[in-house]
């Protein structure tokens, strides 16, 4: 299901779904979603960036609790033509503190309407660890 929308609508729709953190566009141009994309497109117009295949990648963290903990990252492939934006695919990954892949989910044939909310995307790659309750009757005996 394809949906082509302008930058204002695109960024508002993603923010409404919980994707309201900081992003990098094409591994550069850090900032909020709209700022990052606008900065990238401006660099392309000035000739500082090469705009290839009218597509670009947005990268952002969905969950970050510090360098020593696992993190959840989101990569979105977005098509841009004539000032309109179309979400192509999305990859959600959970990596450990060393950058090793723990779990991954890939989604294709998306639109802004059909993409999962940020909390749902986090749940796709999060492991729910069930802790066993220790019996209160356990005592050390001599």
Mean pLDDT of 106-117: 92
Q: State the residue for tokens 């993409």.
A: 115
- Domain annotation covers residue 41: yes
* Under 8 Å between Cβ of 46 and 39: no
In a domain, 59, yes or no: yes
Compute the average pLDDT of residues 107-114: 90
In a domain, 56, yes or no: yes
The pLDDT value recorded for residue 130 is 40
Instruction: State yes or no: pLDDT of 1 exceeds 70.
Output: no
Residue 130 lies in a domain: no
How many structural domains does the chain have? 1
In a domain, 95, yes or no: yes
Q: Cβ contacts of residue 117 below 8 Å, gap of 6+?
A: 17, 18
Nearby residues of 66 by Cβ (< 8 Å), 6 or more positions away: none
- Tell me the C-alpha distance between 67 and 35, whole Å: 25
Per-residue pLDDT for 111 more than 50? yes
pLDDT tier at 31, thresholds 50, 70, 90? very high
Task: Domain of residue 82: give its range.
Answer: 5-125
pLDDT category, 47, cuts 50, 70, 90? confident
């Amino acid at each position: 299901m394809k949906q082509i929308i302008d930058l204002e609508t695109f960024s508002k729709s993603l923010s409404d779904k919980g994707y309201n953190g900081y992003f990098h566009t094409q591994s550069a141009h850090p900032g909020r979603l709209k700022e990052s994309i606008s900065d990238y497109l401006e660099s392309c117009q000035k000739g500082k960036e090469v705009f290839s295949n009218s597509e670009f990648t947005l990268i952002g963290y969905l969950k970050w609790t510090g360098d020593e903990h696992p993190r959840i990252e989101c990569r979105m492939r977005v098509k841009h033509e004539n000032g309109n934006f179309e979400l192509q695919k999305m990859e959600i990954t959970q990596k450990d503190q060393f950058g090793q892949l723990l779990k991954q989910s890939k989604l294709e044939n998306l639109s802004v309407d059909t993409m999962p909310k940020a909390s749902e995307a986090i749940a796709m790659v999060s492991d729910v660890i069930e802790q066993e309750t220790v019996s209160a009757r356990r005592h050390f005996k001599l």
